[in-house]
Amino acid sequence: MAYDNWSIGIYSGDDVFRLAPDTATLNPVLTAADVSDVPAQFVADPFMVCLDAVWYMFFEVFNRRSGKGEIGLAVSHDRIKWTYQCVVLAEPFHLSYPYLTPFQNELLLIPECYRGGGARVYRAIDFPFTWKCAGQFTDERCVDPCVFRHRSMWWMFWGDPNGRHDTLRLGYARELFGGWTEHPLSPVVISNPGIARPAGKVLVNGEAIIRFAQDCSTSYGHCVRAFEITSLTETCYSEREHLRSPVLAGSGSGWNAAQMHHIDAHQVSNTHWIACVDGLDEVWQKTIHC
């Protein structure tokens, strides 16, 4: 069976560092062929959320007609079978990496949209189908922005739009829509494409913080590495790579033969994690960047 470029699958395991293809799922769960409303080149960068026992997945759909990324939606009632719905957000500029974050009893969508200017936040007018820009919370042109809360502060990792995937920046703010300050130690990664570019949602569990990074040292999005943040304050930052890193890599065959570059992991019980991931068939590994 042939797969179209980047596709999306479901992984599971007893730990976020021991994930494998979900045995109950026929991966990939979403491909470009599932997209019914626009001519899709690929699907990638999935993020998901569970509300009222329904799982919603948002992801990049690369529209061949418009030549840019748009944000698509799929829905599942069992985390196994996913049904494509439609494109829920499109702009005159490229969108990807539809990062989700809770905020004051609602869910915000913060996609990569640096080609349109600074980082934007979208609110649901009619969840999950209709989204409206609620403003630009920073003028920074952010690649794959990752926003999270820790110790009553907002934090954000982002990459530089330099095309080299080798720089990771860090900022913080008291309020999401307040004044953002770049950390005094930012960039926290410089000239290292192996560990810089963000690769999915930052995991925060109390004082434990894990960030995921694409390894672009040999090719774009070759695999996903995991880093434990050991110090995070307004003046300090340090991290170390987890012993089980990398957490995702190409399987050598099928839909994710060549490489994997994204993970959004969720703990659904004390002993079970699931994650939406993406993978690239070897046929396209030299040409497609998402």
- pLDDT score of 1: 35
CA distance 265 to 249: 15
Type of residue numbered 190: I
Residue 133 lies in a domain: yes
List, in sequence order, every residue forming a beta bridge with 264; answer none if it has no partner: 276
Residue 94 lies in a domain: yes
Residue 31: Cβ-neighbour burial (10 angstroms; 0-12, 13-18, 19+): buried
- In tens, the pLDDT along 141-178 reads 999 999 999 999 999 999 999 999 999 999 999 999 98
CA distance 233 to 173: 12
Domain count for the chain, please give it.
Answer: 1
- pLDDT score of 5: 86
CA distance 124 to 107: 7
Q: Give phi and psi for 80, each to the nearest 5.
A: -110, -55
What letters, b where the CB count within 10 A reaches 16 and e where it falls short, cover 207-234?
A: eebbbbbbbbeeebbbbbbbbebeebee
Residue 224 lies in a domain: yes
Torsion of CA 183, 179, 100, 126, to 10 degrees: -170
- pLDDT score of 158: 98
**CA-wise closest residue to 96 among 110, 85, 84, 108:** 110
Q: DSSP code of 215?
A: E
- pLDDT score of 283: 54
Residue 83 lies in a domain: yes
Residue 241 lies in a domain: yes
CB 158 within 8 A of CB 143: yes
Residue 289 lies in a domain: no
CA distance 239 to 221: 21
- pLDDT score of 4: 53
Rg (CA), the chain: 17
- CATH code at 203? 2.115.10.20
Q: Which domain holds residue 145?
A: 6-284
pTM over the 0.85 mark = yes
Regions of the chain with pLDDT less than 70: 1-4, 283-290
- pLDDT score of 178: 82
Longest alpha-carbon distance in the chain: 52
Residue 207 lies in a domain: yes
- pLDDT score of 282: 75
Beta carbons within 8 Å of 112's beta carbon, 6+ residues apart: 94, 95, 96, 97, 142, 143, 144, 145
